[in-house]
Amino acid sequence: MERTEIVLEGRKGEIQLFSDDQKAGKMDISVIGKKLTVYHTEVNPEYEGKGFAKILLEKLVSYARENDLKISPLCPYVHAQFKRHPEEYADVWMKGD
């Protein structure tokens, strides 16, 4: 069973993904004002190919929507997904940043 947690200490933090209570991956993020910056997405090698990066992305986007934030996708994975599906992420994508 997979679950996600958002851990923010001050402005910086992580979105953590757990599978059967083992940390399987994370996204490095920061929140300043209404801007959520995502720097890096990482899935542990033993969990690759299971769609876990997508689970992290879904949590990132839902958190941004719930908190009226715009996402600055510095992470190559997130940026690629935003470019592939611009209509899906238009409301949260901070373009030109």
The domains of the chain, with CATH numbers, are 2-85 (3.40.630.30)
Mean pLDDT of 24-36: 97
Mean pLDDT of 81-88: 97
Query: Which tokens is 12 given?
Result: 């910086």
Note the pLDDT tens digit of each residue in 43-82.
999 999 999 999 999 999 999 999 999 999 999 999 999 9
Query: What pTM value is reported for the model?
Result: 0.93
Q: Is the dihedral of CA 10, 14, 16, 22 positive or negative?
A: negative
Q: What percent of the chain has pLDDT over 90?
A: 92
The pLDDT mean for the chain works out to 96
Q: How far is CA 68 from CA 27, 64, 76, in A?
A: 19, 6, 23
- Counting beta carbons within 10 angstroms of the beta carbon of residue 47, is it exposed (0 to 12), middle (13 to 18) or buried (19 or more)? middle
Mean pLDDT of 80-93: 98
Cβ count within 10 A of residue 35: 14
Q: Is the pLDDT of residue 97 over 90?
A: no
- Look-up of token digits 């004002």: 33
Residue 14 pLDDT level (bands cut at 50, 70, 90): very high
